[in-house]
Structure formats: C-alpha cells, structure tokens
Amino acid sequence: MLYTCVAACILAGCSPTGDDKNAVIEQKVESLLKRMTLEEKLGQMNQISSYGNVEDMSALIRRGEIGSILNEVDPQRINTLQRVAVEESRLGIPLLIARDVIHGFKTVFPIPLGQAATFDPQLVEDGARISAIEASSAGIRWTFSPMIDVARDPRWGRMTEGSGEDTYLTSVMGVAMIKGYQGDSLNDPTSIAACPKHFVGYGAAEGGRDYNSTYISERQLRNVYLPPFEAACKAGAATYMSSFNDNDGVPSSGNKFILRDILRGEWGFDGMVVSDWTSITEMISHGFAADAAEAARRAVDAGVDMDMVSYAYYKELPQLIKDGKVKQQTIDDAVRNILRIKFRLGLFDNPYVDENLDVLYAPAHLEAAKRAAVESAILLKNEKQTLPIPASVRTLAIIGPMADAPYEQMGTWTFDGDKNHTVTPLKAIRELAADKIQVIYEPGLSFSRDKDTKGIAKAVAAASRADMVVVFVGEEAILSGEAHCLADLNLQGAQSELIEALSKTGKPLVTVVMAGRPLTIGKEAALSSALLYSFHPGTMGGPALADLLFGKAVPSGKTPVTFPKSVGQVPIYYSHNRTGRPVTGNEILLDSIPVEAGQTSLGCTSFYLDEGWTPLYPFGYGLSYTTFEYDNIRLAADKLSVSDTLRVNFELENTGNYTATEVAQLYIQDKVGSINRPVKELKRFQRVTLKPGERRKLEFKLPVSELAFWNIDMKKTVEPGEFALWVATDSQSGEAVPFEVTE
C-alpha cells in the first residue's frame, strides 16, 4: 500500500488524546500543581542517571528532588524506586523511567539507517512496537528516539541513528517509529513515550564532527530540517529533546525561537521538552552563558522543561526566582508539561511493572528482526548474476572479521542487547548449508581495524580451495554513533588488502559490508563480483544475510543516503539545489587533461576534476535478483490547481525470474521558484511485490498542497508554474514527465 501517514498526520492535531480525556488530565494537573512546593516543582524538572546506591537515590526521591531517572533497567530496582516515589514522598508523584532504546531493547533490529533502507514504514512501526513491549516489561516508559535529524554527511557518526539525507523519508520513518513506540494509547502499559531528537539541525554539524556548530538559514531550516519534527508533532509525539548544537550562534537548549515560537506557538505542542545530556550547562562551554545560573535561566525561559542530569535547574532556579530573574509562571508551565505526560502514560494509576513478565527475545520478535534485516540489505552489484549462490557450489569460503562478530553486528546504541543471542552470518550459513556444502572459515583479520596482515595468507589459501568466496567486512559497532565521527570513510585496517588478495584467486568474490554509515568502497566494489551492503543488521542479521546469499530471500533494500566515491565529495546528496553552471557531460577529468591546457578548456561547470559529479551510488538505489520495467507513466491531468490531487498512473513489470519486491519512487521538481529549488525531491514511495512476468497497474496520489515550500517572502506556499516528475527505481533514473500548477 502507498504509505501516506505523513500526509494524514498533517490533518491531525498535536494532542495524542481526545478532548474529554485531556480535560480530565488538565484538571488533575492543576489540582496537583496547586499543592506543590517550589522544591517539589523543581524536583519534577530534574532528571538523573541511575547509579549503584538505591538508598541514596531513594532519599532524593523521598524528598521530591527527582522527577525522572534514566539508565535503570532492572524491574526490581525500578519498582523499589517507584514505590518510594508513590508511597513515601509527600505527593506520591511517580517517576518517569527512561532509556535509550534506539533500535531495539533486547531483540536488536537493524540500526535506524538500515531500517530506512527498507522503505517499509509498517516494518519500522512493528519494530518500534516490539521495542516498546520489551522495554516496558522492564519498567521503561520513555525512550529518546526517533532521531529525525536530516543528515547529509556520513563523516558524522550519528547518521547511523537516523533515516539518512531525505526530508520526506525521514518524516515517514519518524512517524512510523512514534506510532510503534506509543501504540494506540500512551496509557497502555506496553507503550513508551517517544522523544523526537535532536531539535533541531544537529545533522548539519559542521565538518561532520559531533557536537559542532551548524549554520542553517531559517528558510533552509523550515524547508529541510523542521518538516520531520512537525510531522512527529502531528503524529502525537509525547516529548522532544533539544539538541547539543548551536545554530548561527544560538545553542538549541537556549533557543526560544525554535522551542517556544515554532514548537509550541506554531505547532501547538503541549508535551514535554527535555534537554540532551548536560546540554544546559554546556551552554557555558558554548560561551552563551557565563555560569550555571545563567544557563538555567536561558534554558527554562527558552522552553526546556526538564534538565537531563546537569542539576542546574534544581540548584540554580530557587535563587533566580527569588531575584525575579525567572518567573514562577515559567516554572509552573514546565511542571504542567511534565505532569501531563505522566498522567497520559497512566503512571499515577499503574506505576509498577510486573517483574515476572517474559517477553524478551520472543519468537515473533526474532522473526520480525530477521525480516527487517532482510529488507534492509542493499544489493549494490551483482555481476553475471553471481548471487544467489548457485547450486553448483560445493565448497564455500567464509572470510573476514565481520563474519562471526556477534557484538559488532548489533551496531551502535545497543546498551541492552546481548551478543549471546546474536546469530552471526557464519553460524547461519553453516546451518543453512548443513551437509550440502562444505564451509571453510578463515577470518583473515581479527577485527575491522586490524592492520596485521599475517592472517591474509591463510584466508587466501582457504579461498583457493573453494568454489566461491564470501568476505564479510565493515565497521565495528564503536566506529559509528555518538562521538564516533570519521575523517576517512575507507574500510579500516587491512580489510581492503584482504579483498584485493582474495580477488586475485580468480574465484567469484561476494563482498558483504556491515557498517554504520556509507563507506567509500569504490575500489572494493570493482574487485568484487557481487556487493551486498547491510547497515549493522542486529540480532538476526546472520540468518537474514544467509537467506539472501542463498536465494531464500531476494534483496529489496534501497540506499537511504548517497554513497560518495571519496570523502572529498562530502556533503553529497541527491536533492541539492541547481547551480548556474550545471555539468554538461562534456567535462574533462583529471587523467584526460592535456599538458599546458588552457585555463578555460576543461569546462567551467560544477564538478571535481578527480571525481567528476556523480556519486558511487545514488539515493534510492538498490538491485534485485530480478529486473523490473516501468512503463506507461501518465497523469490523470497535467494542469492542476493547488486544491487538486496529482494522480500518477504507471505500470510495473517483473521481467526476471524471481518473485521480488521493488520500491517504486516518485520524485518532483519545481522548475522555477522565487528561490532556487532542488533538482529533485522524493514525495512518495511504494513497495510492490511481483511474481516473474507479473505486470501491475499502480498509482501515486499527491495533494498539490504538498508542493508548498517556504518562499522568498518566508511564506509557505505552492507557487504556480511548471513542474516535472519522475517515477523510477532510484533518484537518478527515469524520464521527466511535465505538469503545470495554475493559480
């Protein structure tokens, strides 16, 4: 089915509950607020990270100094602490227990970037629902996810946590995760509050370096970076997190414009905003605040309701209020937002967790994780139909440091995943091959950064004895995620040397990359007969990859981010603006430049002498074991008004030999605008499964109102004029189809 959740969300309000229920909750909030002392109010605004001494934490809770605890996952300890809050504190306000459940609690799904590669929002929603079920069974009712930063620089380690470079795809996947986490109702004991992050612009960190500054104009902020957060609000996200970065000199945790004017004023958000870890006091390091007191004042005035672990609010706000520098009304509003979420979660009625629940690693959860890993894998090359592994193969060499690395394949942000439950490719291949194929295993390298080449000779010897070679390379989990940025995107250690040595054996070479970001693997792709890319696939990555390699499943993943040829092309993304000197295709590249060439002889257009202008793999790209043909692309009408809906009809045929799934994609170009518009923008996508020879008539529906953008006058509007669209298999394919929007 065509996934239209974002469009539907735009029509809804930001409130996650009905009017009647909201009215009851508001009455309860006001009643409780009137009974609270200032210290108790500030306690609700104070979040701490759990530590070993339960007695010490209990004393703080008993005095009403703590409103939320993160990083506690033991249900017995959680119940103990919750009992102190509910039964021993003066007002009995329950704690809100939080945890970073980013792509699974115990059952680990592919990293979010991998989930985005599925282009399957329902699968993403299902994964988040499972994450919520498992996490809530431990007493966790709040997660700091989804990360919906649009990220266009793979040097940035946190790209792994998001959905890549595209605004629309990020919006769709973010909404799907929120729906999964929060379920049908927040007060369901299996639901956890979502927290879209990082608000806002963090994905544009300068130089791809974590915590760094961003320089995003308001127009670009509204056209590119804010839409996923607005979609999240309209989907009912319970909370938001302010980001670490400053944008144009203003740290997000002190930015009234984004937190009050946009989030609450324009979008009507009535939930809670939490700071990122110590981001309030980090405004001192930014030079935006002289001390903790000024940082606390700036943050609370800007609209940050809860202070994550810096204790600045609890320590500094009493004096600031006494001195008249912070209004009591500001504190009351923040506490209202916090209490409102606790009531919506049903914590006052059901504060404790059943310590005997057994839902972790349920068979249905593992099957869902496997399905996600299958759909997330991207076939980037398949020369002479190397894959699937043919029946003629009797001896298979499994090589590489990622073939049997259960911890590493889970990826970043897996605090609670257990490597003992991870099924690696080596184990899965051995089970699948059974006694039909001899599997020879030789890692060659001990880990991804290993520079010791002594083991490569053994790997080559093993490959020489086999009919086919599959080498598993990539990144260890620690190499991506928060604070794990890279200036070099090549394969680490001696992995490239390993692939080169294996290619010289002359045996069919299948390279499988498991990584947290797109890597610059042009050399390795050229040396390989086939290339399969799996963003860290999680607990069930092994069985998923084994099924794909042997043809029990067919690849359907698409690149959620552009793959650069070299790091010098970064940032490179498909929906860039048009330049006044676009490439013509006649440019002369480095190795073809004549000696003593004239200054203007190479073509004065926008390209690199050494890398040209194209990426290694474009956004939306991914092959299959079959082939697909698009045909008869036509419009129901080629002249439309703003109130109309664009209807694009087309036919899709499976012209190969395997039942498989294609991700059909709709791209739009606004040809002339009051500001420079992107060359293409993804507006819809659809997963379609076809049998060999099957042909199906399909349709995309797009309200013309979704062509709106923030124009030169900083107004969101659809500007009449000429447009073009593409229905294609990726962002670089297809033929343009013109249409017009009239007044």
Nearest of 669, 491, 640 to residue 567 by alpha carbon: 491
Positions marked catalytic: 276
**What letter does residue 368 receive in the DSSP assignment?**
H
Nearest of 369, 338, 397 to residue 95 by alpha carbon: 338
> Do residues 488 and 461 make contact, with C-beta atoms less than 8 angstroms apart?
no
Distance CA 636, CA 328 (A): 58
Tokens of 108: 């680990």
Pairing of strands 681-690, 639-640: unpaired
> Do residues 274 and 343 make contact, with C-beta atoms less than 8 angstroms apart?
no
Q: Directed axis angle between helix 19-35 and helix 328-344, to 10°?
A: 130
Q: HSE, CB side, 13 Å, CA atoms: give it for residue 252.
A: 31
Tokens of 734: 């297809």
Distance (Å) of CA 616 to CA 141, 479, 526, 608: 42, 22, 11, 14
Distance CA 239, CA 195 (A): 5
Distance CA 540, CA 549 (A): 15
- 254, β-bridge pairs: none
Amino acid at 324: G
Report helix, strand or coil for 693.
coil
Pairing of strands 645-654, 628-635: antiparallel
Distance (Å) of CA 226 to CA 38, 194, 197, 564, 571: 35, 17, 11, 25, 19
Distance CA 129, CA 131 (A): 5
Burial of 714 (0-12, 13-18, 19+ CB in 10 A): exposed
Burial track 252-277 (b if 16+ CB lie within 10 A, e otherwise): bbbbeebbbebbbeebebbbbbbbbb
Distance CA 559, CA 278 (A): 34
Nearest of 345, 338, 352 to residue 46 by alpha carbon: 338
> Which alpha helices (H) appear in 434-586, and where do they start and end?
456-464, 495-503, 522-527, 541-549
Distance CA 120, CA 475 (A): 25
Distance CA 699, CA 4 (A): 13
φ and ψ at residue 429, rounded to 5 degrees: -65, -40
Query: Residue 719, Cβ neighbours under 10 Å: how many?
Result: 17
Hunting for tokens 């959860």 — which residue is that?
365
Tokens of 47: 């979040």
Report helix, strand or coil for 433.
helix
